[in-house]
Amino acid sequence: MTLLAQISDLHLRAGGLLACGRGDALRAARETLGYLLSFRPSLDALVLTGDLADRGEEGAYLELAELLRPFEIPLGLVPGNHDDRERAREIFGGLCPWAAETYPFLCWTRDLGKVGLIGLDVAQEGRVGGALAGKVANFLEKALSAFGERDCLVFLHQPPFRSGLGDMDGFPFVNAGQLSEIMGAYPRAVLACGHLHRGLASFWEGGRAICAPPVCLHMELDLTEKGGHRFTLGPPGFALYHYGEGLLNVHFASVPGDYPYAGPYYFSGPPAG
Ligand SMILES: [Fe+2]
Ligand SMILES: [Fe+2]
């Protein structure tokens, strides 16, 4: 068995400030990582898929690096649209060695034996939507081909498929077609995203994909045009990948604890019109 966890969208603020003025991001990160550290059977790897910090603050990354220190398993991180790539490179470089050939993008691979892990940086400076840069696409093709017939998880922040959440679909993924083509050639590979702040599975044209539920700020399930603007509070979430004999199960799970439901609240005010 191979067991690994993905956490996403921590939205940490320096000094323990609340994310979007409501979400206790520090408590959520601390309790999620504490829970995963003592999870049994113990994890073989832990991956964080972006929006680690809400505003890319150094203090937020230092706090997170401290919380990650006790883990003695392979760690992988990719940045999201709320992150500061250069700060993340500096602070997390010791935990997650980046591939030199994708500079300045923070990409990596980890070999867990039966399962190969690939991390892709698809964040664009100052933009909400993701993009597959040429050198990142080359890195992905090379890494998938190196893992060959083995099971593979490809981690990135923004999903390349439409979610139906009106506002989120307003920021399309640049080069989604190319990503779909590359992934389509490797049917054993699964795309593992974050960014939507909802746990979901997608069987899109590029194959199999999931979005991990968020650690902080849960997206309201609103598939109308005006959806994707509001969040609720609740228990931190994560995705647990369980590879067994001839199968992969993905659990969308919550951290146990007293996390009352509250909301919905706007991320940044109601949509125009
Ligand atoms: Fe996020
Ligand atoms: Fe995001």
Domains of the chain: 2-266 (3.60.21.10)
Helix axes 85-92, 58-68, angle to 10 degrees: 30
Residue 165's Cα: distance from chain center in Å? 18
Report every protein residue that has its C-beta within 5 angstroms of ion ligand 2.
Answer: 51, 80-81, 195
Q: Which amino acid is at 103?
A: Y
Q: What is the mean pLDDT of each run of 10 residues along the chain (273 residues)?
A: 98 97 97 98 98 98 98 98 98 95 98 97 95 98 96 98 93 97 96 98 96 98 94 98 96 97 92 68
CA of 1 to the centre of ligand 2 (A): 31
Q: Give how far Cα 207 sits from Cα of 32, 44, 58, 124, 224, Å.
A: 29, 25, 37, 24, 25
What does R_g of the chain's alpha carbons equal in angstroms?
17
H-assigned helices in the chain: 25-37, 58-68, 85-92, 134-147, 176-184
- Give the pLDDT of residue 273: 61
CA of 195 to the centre of ligand 2 (A): 4
CA of 18 to the centre of ligand 1 (A): 14
CA of 83 to the centre of ligand 2 (A): 9
CA of 195 to the centre of ligand 1 (A): 5
- Give the pLDDT of residue 125: 87
